[in-house]
C-alpha cells in the first residue's frame, strides 16, 4: 500500500528483530527500500531473520545484542553505521514480560523487565542520538509500548511501569531532540493474534475469544498492522508527527466489552 521507495536510502536498527513484531517491521522496511540491522539476544535467530530478508532481495544484517548491556548497544549502533553508512531510524522493540501478581514478584523479576524494556530503550536512544542527529532524512525513534502501561496491567506491574516510562521518555526526547530534527514516537499495539506474547498471555489459557471481544473491532490485530504503523511513522508521511503515541489496538484501550 506504500510505494516501494517509501523508505529508500534509510537505515534502521531494530531491537528484538529476530521474531514477531520486530521481524515484521524489518521485513516491511526492507521491502520499502531501507537497510535493516536486526539485533537480539539469540544470535542464531537474528541471523536467520536477516537471511530471510536478504533472500527476498532486501538489505539486512544481524548481530547479537542484549539491550540490557550498554556496551553491546553501542557496538550494535556502531556496527550499523559501519555496515550501512548511517543510522536514521531506531526501533525499540525488544521486550521481556511474564505474568506474575505483584505481591509475588521478586525484586529481581521486577528489575529484569525494567532493564530490558525501559533501560534498554534509554540505552538505544542514547547511543543512537549522534547518528540520528546527523541523519540526512531526519532521525526517527519508534518504541513499541502498549496502552496497558497507561490503563493499568494487573499481574504485569513491571512491564506496565516500563511501558509507561518509555511513553514519558519518548515525549521528553521529542521535545528535547525536536531541534535536532529527530522525531520520537511510540506505537501501542493491542492484542496481536500472531505473536508469542498474545499466544502465551491469552490464547494458550483459553482466553483468546474473550480478549478479542474486548476490542471494539472484535478481532485480534496482525503483526502487519503494527509494521504499517511503523512504516508511516518512520516515513516522510509523518514528517510533522512527533511525541505521538499511535494506538493500533482495535479500540481495546477504550475498555470496550462486547455484549
Looking at residues 109 to 128 of the shown chain, list those that interact with ligand HXC (rule: CB under 6 A).
Answer: 109, 112-113
Interface size with ligand HXC, residues (CB under 6 A): 16
The DSSP-derived string for 192-229 is BTTSHHHIIIIITTT-HHHHHHTSSSSS-B-HHHHHHH
Beta carbon nearer to ligand HXC, 7 or 14 = 14
Could you tell me which of 119, 22, 143 has the C-alpha nearest to residue 36? 22
Among 9, 45, 69, 98, binds ligand HXC (CB under 6 A): 98
Which x/- pattern over 174-193 shows residues binding ligand HXC (rule: CB under 6 A)? -----------------x--
DSSP state of 116: I
Looking at residues 10 to 49 of the shown chain, list those that interact with ligand HXC (rule: CB under 6 A).
Answer: none
| Part of the chain binding ligand HXC (CB under 6 A), chosen from 46-54, 130-138, 194-202, 227-235 | 194-202
Among 79, 81, 100, 254, binds ligand HXC (CB under 6 A): 100
Strands lying side by side in the sheet with 89-92: 59-64, 35-40, 11-15, 89-92, 139-144, 182-189, 245-248
The SS3 call for residue 89 is strand
Which x/- pattern over 150-169 shows residues binding ligand HXC (rule: CB under 6 A)? ---------x----------
Would you give the distance in Å from CA 65 to the centre of its chain? 15
The reply to whether 198 sits near ligand HXC by the rule CB under 6 A is: yes
CA-to-CA distance for 113 and 94, rounded, in angstroms? 11
CA-to-CA distance for 126 and 124, rounded, in angstroms? 5
Beta carbon nearer to ligand HXC, 16 or 139 = 16
Smallest distance, Å, CB 91 to ligand HXC? 15
The reply to whether 146 sits near ligand HXC by the rule CB under 6 A is: yes
Enumerate residues 6+ apart whose C-beta is below 8 A from 62.
17, 18, 37, 38, 39, 40, 43, 46, 47, 49, 50
Looking up cell 513491571 gives 158
Beta carbon nearer to ligand HXC, 80 or 97 = 97
Q: Can you give the binding site for ligand HXC, defined by CB under 6 A?
A: 95-98, 100, 106, 108-109, 112-113, 146, 159, 191, 197-198, 201
Amino acid at each position: 500500500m506504500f510505494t516501494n521507495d517509501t523508505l529508500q536510502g534509510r537505515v534502521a536498527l531494530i531491537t528484538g528483530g529476530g521474531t514477531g513484531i520486530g521481524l515484521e517491521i524489518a521485513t516491511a522496511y526492507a521491502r520499502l527500500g531501507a537497510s535493516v540491522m536486526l539485533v537480539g539476544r539469540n544470535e542464531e535467530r537474528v541471523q536467520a531473520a536477516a537471511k530471510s530478508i536478504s533472500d527476498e532481495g532486501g538489505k539486512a544484517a544481524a548481530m547479537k545484542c542484549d539491550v540490557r548491556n550498554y556496551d553491546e548497544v553501542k557496538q550494535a549502533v556502531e556496527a550499523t553505521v559501519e555496515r550501512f553508512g548511517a543510522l536514521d531510524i531506531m526501533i525499540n522493540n525488544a521486550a521481556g514480560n511474564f505474568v506474575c501478581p505483584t505481591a509475588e514478584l521478586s525484586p529481581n523479576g521486577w528489575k529484569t523487565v525494567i532493564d530490558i524494556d525501559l533501560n534498554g530503550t534509554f540505552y538505544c536512544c542514547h547511543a543512537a542520538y549522534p547518528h540520528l542527529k546527523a541523519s540526512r532524512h531526519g532521525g526517527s525513534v519508534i518504541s513499541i509500548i502498549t496502552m496497558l502501561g497507561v490503563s493499568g496491567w494487573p499481574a504485569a506491574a513491571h512491564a506496565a511501569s516500563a511501558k509507561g516510562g518509555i511513553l514519558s521518555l519518548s515525549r521528553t526526547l521529542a521535545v528535547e531532540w525536536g531541534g535536532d530534527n529527530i522525531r520520537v514516537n511510540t506505537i501501542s499495539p493491542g492484542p496481536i493474534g500472531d505473536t508469542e506474547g498474545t499466544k502465551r498471555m491469552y490464547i494458550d489459557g483459553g482466553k483468546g475469544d474473550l480478549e478479542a471481544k474486548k476490542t471494539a473491532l472484535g478481532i485480534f490485530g496482525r503483526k502487519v498492522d503494527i509494521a504499517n504503523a511503523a512504516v508511516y511513522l518512520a516515513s516522510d508521511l509523518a514528517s510533522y508527527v512527533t511525541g505521538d503515541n499511535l494506538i493500533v489496538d482495535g479500540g481495546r484501550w477504550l475498555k470496550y466489552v462486547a455484549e
